[in-house]
Chain A
Amino acid sequence: MKAARPTDPASPRMTLSSDGYIRLTFERFLRLRLEHLCSGLDDSEIGLNPGAEGACTTTISGYTEWVSDDLPAQPMITIGWSWALVGRDGGARCVQVDPPGHNLMFLDAQGRDVGLRATTALLYDWLERFDWQSQVLFAVNAQTPLNSCQH
Chain B
Amino acid sequence: MNGLDPRVADALARLPDYLGQHVVISVTALLLGLALSLPLAVLATRRERLRWPLLAFASLIQTIPGLALLALFYPLLLGLSALTESLFGKGFSALGFLPSVLALTLYSMLPVLRNTVTGIEGIDPAVKAASLGVGMTSRQSLWMVELPLALPVIMAGIRTSAVWVIGTATLSTPVGQTSLGNYIFAGLQTQNWVSVLFGCVAAALLALVVDQLLALVETGVAARKRLRIVAGAIGLLLVLAAALVPGLSRPAATYTIGTKTFTEQYILASLIQDRLRANGLSAARRDGLGSTVIFNALASGEIDAYVDYSGTIWANHMRRTEIRSRDEVLNELRLWLKRERGIEMLGALGFENAYALAMRRDRAETLGIRTIEDLAARSSQLAIGGDYEFFDRPEWATLRTAYGLTFRQRRQMDSTFMYGAVVNGEVDVISAFSSDGRVARFDLLVLEDPKRALPPYDAVLLLSPGRADDQALRRSLKPLVGTIDVALMREANLRADRDQDKETPAQAARWLWEKIKENE
Q: Do A and B come from one complex?
A: no
A residues adjacent to B (C-beta < 8 A): none
B residues adjacent to A (C-beta < 8 A): none
